[in-house]
A and B are shown apart, each in its own frame.
Chain A
């Protein structure tokens, strides 16, 4: 019973009739499809939807090292989701040609408390990362490769001990020489 996109939840009335009536196989299947749709799509509550105003700028002064630009407050992500679809609204405002800034989004198991030039040791075990390269003057919405959760490879139940899994996110910027870009939106949606 694969999760399919063509089975959105259909509000039902009198599908199953009253007391002591037989229960149809179709009704049970229909509800199962709807529950799967909810888990896979309709109830994937956005993990973070951030508007930076004013925009978040990559480092200036010719800095080309990977610099921590934002350490986000942690968010509890429901069980079962192993990746995030994410989007970055960005543009280049210093530089030309193929000069780019690489914006990297990390998912981690602990709060980053390291130097502003990223030191991955402070991201904890199992951290994951994906990036987008911003190399155009015109504003665009960049879609990153799906970012895995830091818990994605765990095969055991995350909440077995009653502890809730918090996801910590860090956004870094790495400029090419002579390039500077800025980000105005970051949106993350959990996916199975």
Chain B
């Protein structure tokens, strides 16, 4: 997920949005001939624990889905299993759920705290019948559980206990009849007008992880966690609907009642989502990487066609660089969904081989929002989609690593200083943007905290995305850019299609770099310390300061010896070794290395020269330093920056005065 801050500017020019690409009429979606999941010609990429077969019928007027699911679960836990937990994520969209309670308390993406309840945001998933092969109808045995809090009103997790355990290595089949009520789009899912975004819509079994079931309730700040497997999904809906899905279209058939049935197949993924709208304009393209061609499906909403080439450029650039730097993209497709106006809550989200982007009808070229959202959500195909970390407990491993690679990819495509904003009068790079996100609330939560335990959504966003990215950027400066890239490549190749932990990631970094980085990780990942070094003092004084007759005399000037003091202080609690560059007015210089352990250190020099400047971290290695303005000292004051700020503020003040004087 990308917590986008999309500024809809009142742009001067209305984009003329004649379609750049031709409209593809709804009924003629082309099916790709694929073989069903029993095909063994291709070796599976993952350990396929789950096989979902789902038949669903969408009512686009009521925004409801009637469905049935057959889940074949292969018990690879190594132990007999008798109790199985399932997620029912859609039940979060009810006022007394844990999710909504936390939104009300602390806010979440797109919704501030104290948000009022809108009945249109009601969503639900109801299990009408649950049968287990060999165990019969267990609908009445279904019980809701609350592993994270005591909220008995929360119905996002249920468990069912079978009469007999399933032996290790054996499989069990669940037949579940359920129906969904989609909310008006909120938190990634739902409808707006004729657009339906269908995510987290089916009963999903938990993950056996670290020797226990891992099946958390849905929280305001959490995302998802599931096992790899296959999906065969049949979707029936009106013929005029254009569908995008995270799977290959195996067949498409028109029915006599005006509906059509589309069959999708997907392998080696852990989720399946889809979208439908009769108003999409489909843009087809392709890209060829190290694993072969990838079909690109872009579903554009009305009024947004001007952003289509922007999405495409960002997507292809991301495909190229990820393939080159981190590892191959193994799927033959990627779908990008552009939510319609009013549907931004469905934007900025990732699902295996399907992502939702975000733009506006008047998106300025200089605001690279469509680009960074596309890049970020594509990046999740690697960090989440294939390296399937636990987004509840280790959110930083997908959001944070992805935010770091977002910086790298966006800088490579759009320039280091212009990868976020690129106006003639104002530029901003991704690195700065991530830093700013971090420093908005930097010291309340460690990166490693469970996602739902952050103090607020602002802290969750700033720390999980911004701090992790900034930590990794600084780490890159410590171990080198090439080494960092190699480390991420190794991590991806080693842990793709598995569920690694934070320790797995950090150990990989240490292994590849050959360095002991515990001193860094303990503070940066597991702590809340702030890194802030400052030049506390720098001045020169005549050694014979008491001898006033010797000062100021030109004859003695060149022989006068000065004692220069440079004091460096550690204002924050984060200990980090720093370099201090000192320059004197005779052209000489000194470089000091400080381990940063103590609270301050003072350097003293006796020279026939006065200090000219002193600077901590002259090469800008420590991106994590909170305040770059206190890192340096120059003897000659330069007030130009202050004058510039004052000019702007004076003008703003006068302008406001003039506007208010309209009242007179």
Pairing of A with B:
no
- List chain A positions with a Cβ less than 8 A from chain B: none
